[in-house]
Amino acid sequence: MKPRTAASKVLTRHDLIDRYGRPRKETVVFTNGVFDILHRGHTTYLAAARALGDALIVGVNTDASVRRLSKGSGRPINRVGDRATVLAALECVDAVCLFDGDTPLALIEELVPDVLVKGGDYATKPVVGQETVEAAGGRVELIAFENGYSTTELVERIREIPE
């Protein structure tokens, strides 16, 4: 089977729902984030998320959405098209879809994934979309972060490099 190109895995919301929406036979896993500078923590997290089902869909914040999240000065570093394409190039990612809201709730409500995945830091806070997923018979899974890997920390280290 010929591998799909990264560009073919970046889908519009309409195309995503056509391909992965309900009814479906496969178990669809959904996660979301900024994924500004892809690092080892991201890749281990995404691989673990993919292992929970048959297809992993990643929602990616648009640049305007990232700026509203107050991720820090100058963020995002990489533009949304670049971030989406890099994520889509990963074997464990089946599709990438952009969202412009402050949360991916509207996308989750349309897709209604079988498994909603977030990082372990959500153990003490609500997961956006949890009610929708659980009402449809799905579940929420939290995946522990790999210590020492954070985009914010990586950006700080880069900024400390002498010129």
Pick the CATH number of 6-160 from 3.30.565.10, 3.40.1160.10, 3.20.20.70, 3.40.50.620: 3.40.50.620
Query: CB neighbours of 10 closer than 8 A, spacing ≥ 6?
Result: 84, 85, 88, 95, 96, 97, 98
Tens of pLDDT, residues 111-158: 999 999 998 887 788 899 999 999 999 999 999 877 766 766 776 777
Helix (H), strand (E) at residue 125: none
Number of other residues whose CB lies within 10 A of the CB of residue 139: 13
Are 112 and 138 in contact by the 8 Å Cβ rule? The answer is: yes
pLDDT of 69 strictly over 90: no
Question: Considering only CA atoms, which of 61, 137, 145, 64 is closest in space to residue 104?
Answer: 61
pLDDT of 58 strictly over 90: yes
Tens of pLDDT, residues 5-29: 999 999 999 999 999 999 999 999 9
